[in-house]
Chains A and B, each alone.
Chain A
Amino acid sequence: MGTKIKNISMKIASRIKNFRITRSVFAYPYVLFLMMFVIMPLVILLINAFIVNEKFSFENFANFFNDGSSVDTLMFSLLIGIITTVLCILLGYPVAYILSKWSSGRLIVLLFILPMWVNFLIRTLSTRFMFEAIGIKLGVGTLIFGLVYNYIPFMILPLHTTLSNIDKSFSEAASDLGANPINTFFKITFPLSIPGILSGITMVFIPTISTFAISQFLGGTSSHLFGDSINTKFEHQLYGVGSVMSIIMLIFVLISNYFMQKTNKGEAARNLW
C-alpha cells in the first residue's frame, strides 16, 4: 500500500516537472469541475442509497417501493410530463410550422424565447399571483399551464430549426407528383420534421418530470411531483430514500434518452438549434 502511494506521488512529481502547456491543458479546469460537481455527487448519491449503517443493503429501495404514496407520486409525475409534452407539441408545432414559412420567422421565434430571459422563479410566481388575482384555484390545471408556459420555447426552437431546414424542393416535388397541400404536409413535411419533434420531446419531457419549483408555486397542495418529494425527503434529512428516488429519476431520464436516440438515429443533435 505504502509503495503504491509513493509510486503515485512520484508520478505526479514527474508530471509537474514535465508540465507543458498543450491543448489538453485547457480542458483541466472543466475536468476538475466535472469531478467535483458531477462525478462526486453521483458517488455520494450511490453511497447514500446503498449504504445503511455502514453496510451495503437494499433497505432504502425496499422502503421506497413499500411506500405506496411515493410510487403514486412517480406515476403522477410521469403522467404530468406526458400531458405537458403532448400539449407543447400540439401548441408548438403549428407555430413553428407557420414561422418556418415566413422569411421573418427567425425574429418572431426570438420573441417566443424572450420570456425565457426573465428569471423563471419570477415568471412562475407572477403566474401564480395572476391566477390568484383572477380567482382560479391552484391545482393540476394551473400546474400544467405553468409547465407548458415554461417549456414550450424548448419545443418551438428545435421544431422551427428542423422545419426551416427541410429542402423546399421536397414539398415542390410532392406537389408536382399530385399531392395537394394537406397530403404534402402529412406525407412529406411531417415525417421529415420528426427529428425536431423528438429533440423537442427530450427537451420538454425530461425537465418536466424532474421539476419541483413550478409545482410548489403552481401545483397547490394536492399535486406534488416526484421532484417535490425528493426535495422534501432531503429537507427532512432522509438522505437514503431521497438518494434512491434520485437514482430512479436518473434511470427514467436515461431510458427516455435512449429511446429518443434510437428512434432518431442521431439526427436530432444536428438539428437541435
Chain B
Amino acid sequence: MEQGKMATDKIIELKNLCKSYDEKPVVKNVTLSIKKGEFVTLLGPSGCGKTTTLRMIAGFEKPTSGSVHISGNDMTQSPPYARNVNTVFQNYALFPHLNVFNNIAFGLKFKCINDGTFFTDKNGVKYANLRKFTKTEITNKVKNALKMVDLEEYEKRNVSSLSGGQKQRVAIARSLVNEPDVLLLDEPLGALDLKMRKDMQLELMNMHKKLGITFVYVTHDQEEALTMSDTIVVMKDGVIQQIGTPQKVYDEPANAFVADFIGESNIFSGTMIADFKVEFCDHLFECVDKGFKFNEPIDVIIRPEDVKICNPDEDITQLTAVVSSCVFKGDHFQITVIINGGEDYEMLIHDNIECKVNATVGLCIKPFDLHIMHKARIINEIKTEMWDFNIVEISGGKFPCNCDLPSGTKVLVSIDFDDVVIHDDEDQGIIGGEVINTIYKGNYYQCVIRTDDYYDFFVDTEDDWLKGDRVGISVNPDKIVIKKIEDTQNGD
C-alpha cells in the first residue's frame, strides 16, 4: 500500500468546494490540501461550515460544486463505504445492539484484502485475488486495537455500560482498526470533562505520531487546536480565513477575526502615519510594517503577553496607564489597564509582575509585536434606490434622509460605523438584524449586524451586544450620505 501512493504526498485535496442547504450557502469555495501524515484542525465558531466540510470528505454530504480528491483520485461522487477514510463521530455512534468487540470488528468484516495470489484476465490485466479476514485475524486486530486504547478487558461489555471516555476510546479503536488513510474526527472530545479531555488530547497526539495516519480534526476549541495540530485551518461563515501552523496563526493572525478567535488579544483601531509608523490610542508607535496607504485606517492587534509592564520613569516606557484590575491566573497575572489619552483605552496584559490597582505603570511593546491589519471595511456602503423624496430604501426598510432625489433613483448610501444606532427592541429600529460578531477595540465594541437580506452592517457602539441576538437598526437622517450613481449605460 505504501509504495504505490508515495507519488503524491497530498492525501486530501479539496477544490473549490461549495455546499448550500436550501440556497443558503454553508461552505463557500473551500480549497485545501492536506499532506500525508499531517494533523490538520478545522477551527471556527459553531455554524462556520467546518463539520460540513468534514462530512463532505467522509462522503456523507455531496458538495453543491467543487471536488474532493483522496489519494489523488476524484472521490466527489463516491459513497462513504468506498472511501478509505474513517470518522469518529461527535456522539460516538456506537452500535447499541453490539458489544465492544463486535463494534470494533464491524468494519473488518467487510474488508477485502489481497490473498497473495493474482489472476490475469484475457487482456493480460493482473488482478489481486481478494479474500475476507479470517476469524482469528479479526480477533487479533480487535485485541490490538483495544490494547491501543487501554480497554483490553472490555471486549465483552455492552456499549451502553461504558463511560463517556470509554465510549470515545471504543469509537477511536473502531475507526483505527480499519487502518484508514485518513482519520476524521468531528469534535470528538466535546462531551468529555476537562481532565479527561486533556488526557485524550495527549493520547490522540501520541496515536497520530505512532500510526502516521493523517488526522483531520474539527473543533471550536482554539486551545485544543493550538495544542494538537500541525496545521490549523480557521474558518468563519463557510470561508477559510487562514491556513497555517499553530504558531503562525497565533503570532501572525491574518485578520481581526482570527486574532480575536484564537487566543486573547487587544484590538485597536489606528492609522498608518507612514511606513513603520502607526498611531493608535492617541500615541505614536514604531512598527515593522510598511506598504500601507498614507493615513490608512488599520486594525492593530497586540497579544496580552507581548505587553511588558515597566516603571513609568524608565527609558523604555512608551506610554503610561492606570491599573484597573489585577487577577492571579496561576502562571501569570491578568492585568487590565486604562491608557490615558484623549480618550480612555482599555488594554489586557499578561505579565508576571503583580500590580496594585490604581497604580500608574509604564507599558512597553516591541515594534515586532504590533500586528497591523487592513480593515475589512472603513464605511458601510450600500447600493440602493430612493424610495421617495427624503426616503431611501436600505435592506427593505425605509430610512428618512435629507435628499431630494426622486423615487427610483439609483444611489450609493454611505453610513459611518458610529452613526448606526442599535436598538434592543427589534421593532424600535427601521430594520431588524442579527448580531453576527462583536470585537472589543479598547474603548468601544465593533459589531457586525446581518440584515435579513444578508447585508452586514458594521457598527461601532459603546455596548457589548450578545452574539446571535436580534436587534433593530436605525440611522439619524443627517448622518446618511447619499450620492447619485450616474447611469452610464442608458440615458433615461
Binds B, one of A4-12, A148-156, A174-182: A174-182
Q: Which residues of A contact B79 (CB under 8 A)?
A: 175, 180
Interface residue stretch chosen among A35-43, A83-91, A136-144, A164-172: A164-172
- CB contacts (< 8 Å) of B80 on chain A: these are 172, 175-176
Q: How far does the Cβ of B95 sit from chain A's closest Cβ, in whole Å? A: 6
Given contacts A179-B106, A188-B95, contact A173 B87 (CB under 8 A): yes
In the complex, whether B266 has a CB less than 8 A from a CB of chain A is: no
Confirm or deny: A187 has a beta carbon within 8 angstroms of a beta carbon on chain B. yes
A167 to B97, CA, bound (A): 13
Tell me the complex Cα distance, A170–B58, Å.
Answer: 14
Assuming the A-B contacts A178-B107, A179-B106, are A173 and B81 also in contact, with contact meaning beta carbons closer than 8 angstroms in the complex?
A: no
Let me know if B110 and A170 touch, CB within 8 A: no
CB distance from A273 to the nearest CB of B (A): 21
A residues near B59, Cβ cutoff 8 Å: 175-176
Contact B97 A192 (CB under 8 A): yes
A170-B111 contact, Cβ under 8 Å, with A176-B86, A176-B87: no
One of B60, B91, B106 near A177 (C-beta < 8 A): B106
Interface residue B178 (Cβ < 8 Å from any Cβ of A): yes
**B133: min CB distance to chain A, Å:** 12
Q: Does A63 contact B (CB under 8 A)?
A: no
**A178 contacts which of B58, B95, B178 (Cβ < 8 Å)?**
B178
Interchain CB contact under 8 A, B106 and A172: no
Q: Is B89 interfacial (CB-CB < 8 Å)?
A: yes
Chain A residues with Cβ below 8 Å from B86 are 176-177
Distance, CA A137 to CA B91, complexed state (A): 57
Q: Decide yes or no: A187 and B106 within 8 Å by CB, A172-B60, A176-B81, A192-B97 being known contacts.
A: yes
Kindly state the separation between the CA atoms of A224 and B106 in the bound complex, as whole angstroms: 49
A172-215: which residues lie under 8 A (CB-CB) from chain B?
A: 172-180, 183, 187-188, 191-192
Pairwise interchain contact B97-A177, C-beta atoms closer than 8 A: no
Is B111's CB under 8 angstroms from A178's CB? yes
Beta-carbon contacts under 8 Å, B60-97 to A: 60, 79-81, 85-87, 89, 91, 93, 95-97
Cα A170 to Cα B174 in complex, Å, equals 13
Please pick, from A170, A177, A183, A191, the residue contacting B178 in the complex, using a CB distance under 8 A: A177
Shortest A259–chain B CB gap in Å is 19
Q: Shortest CB–CB separation between residue A197 and chain B, in angstroms? A: 13
User: What total of chain B residues lie within 8 Å of the partner, measured CB to CB?
Assistant: 22
Specify which chain A residues have a CB less than 8 angstroms from the CB of B178 in the assembled complex: 177-178
A-B contacts counted at CB < 8 A amount to: 60
Question: Whole-angstrom distance between the alpha carbons of A112 and B240 in the complex?
Answer: 49
**With contacts A172-B60, A176-B81, A178-B81 known, is A167 near B106, CB below 8 A?**
no
Question: What is the interface residue range for chain A against chain B?
Answer: 10 to 19
B107 to chain A: which residues have CB within 8 Å? 177-179
Contact of A179 among B93, B96, B110 (CB under 8 A): B110
Residues of A within 8 Å of B110, CB to CB, are 177-180, 183
Report the separation of the CA atoms of residues A177 and B89 in the bound assembly, to the nearest whole angstrom: 12
B343 to nearest A CB, angstroms?
52
Interface string of A14-32 (1 = CB under 8 A from B): 0000000000000000000
Complex CA gap A169/B89 in Å reads: 8
Q: Which residues of chain A come closer than 8 Å to B111, judged between CB atoms?
A: 178
**Residue on B with the closest CB to A175?**
B80
Cβ B95 vs Cβ A173 within 8 A = yes
Of B87, B93, B96, B107, chain A has the most CB atoms within 10 Å of the CB of: B93
Residue from B85, B106, B111 whose CB has the most chain A CB atoms within 10 Å? B106
Which chain B residue has the least Cβ–Cβ distance from A167?
B93
Q: Inside 8 A of A175's CB, which chain B residues have their CB?
A: 59-60, 79-81
Q: Report the bound CA distance from A22 to B111 in whole Å.
A: 65
Q: Establish whether residues A173 and B93, one from each chain, have CB atoms under 8 Å apart when the complex forms.
A: yes
Q: In the bound complex, do residue A169 and residue B106 qualify as a contact, i.e. CB atoms below 8 Å apart?
A: no
Give complex CA distance A220, B313 in Å: 112
Provide the residues of chain A in CB contact with B85, threshold 8 Å: 176
* Contact across chains for A176 and B58 when beta carbons are under 8 A apart: yes
Give complex CA distance A176, B95 in Å: 13
Minimum CB–CB distance for B54 against chain A, Å:
12
Are the CB atoms of B96 and A192 closer together than 8 Å? yes
Contacts of A180 in B (CB 8 A): 79, 81, 110
> Complex: how many Å from CA A175 to CA B86?
10
Name B171's closest neighbour in chain A (CB-CB). A173
Which of A169, A172, A176, A178 neighbours the largest number of chain B CB atoms within 10 Å of its CB? Answer: A176
Within the assembled complex, what's the spacing in Å between the Cα atoms of A191 and B95? 10
Q: Which residues of chain B are near A191, meaning CB under 8 Å?
A: 97
Which residues of chain A have C-beta atoms less than 8 A from B93's C-beta?
A: 167, 169-170, 172-173
Chain A residues with CB below 8 A from B95, complex form? 170, 173-174, 188, 192
In the complex, 7 of the A-B residue pairs with CB atoms within 8 angstroms, ordered by the A residue number, are A172-B60, A175-B79, A176-B87, A177-B178, A179-B106, A180-B110, A192-B96
A180-B79, A183-B110 known; 13 other A-B pairs, CB under 8 Å? A169-B91, A172-B80, A172-B87, A172-B89, A173-B93, A176-B58, A176-B81, A176-B87, A177-B106, A177-B110, A178-B107, A180-B110, A192-B96
Where the two chains meet, the residues of B that have a C-beta atom closer than 8 Å to any C-beta of A are 58-60, 79-81, 85-87, 89, 91, 93, 95-97, 106-107, 110-111, 174-175, 178
9 A-B pairs with least C-beta separation: A177-B107, A169-B93, A173-B93, A178-B110, A175-B80, A191-B97, A176-B87, A176-B80, A175-B81
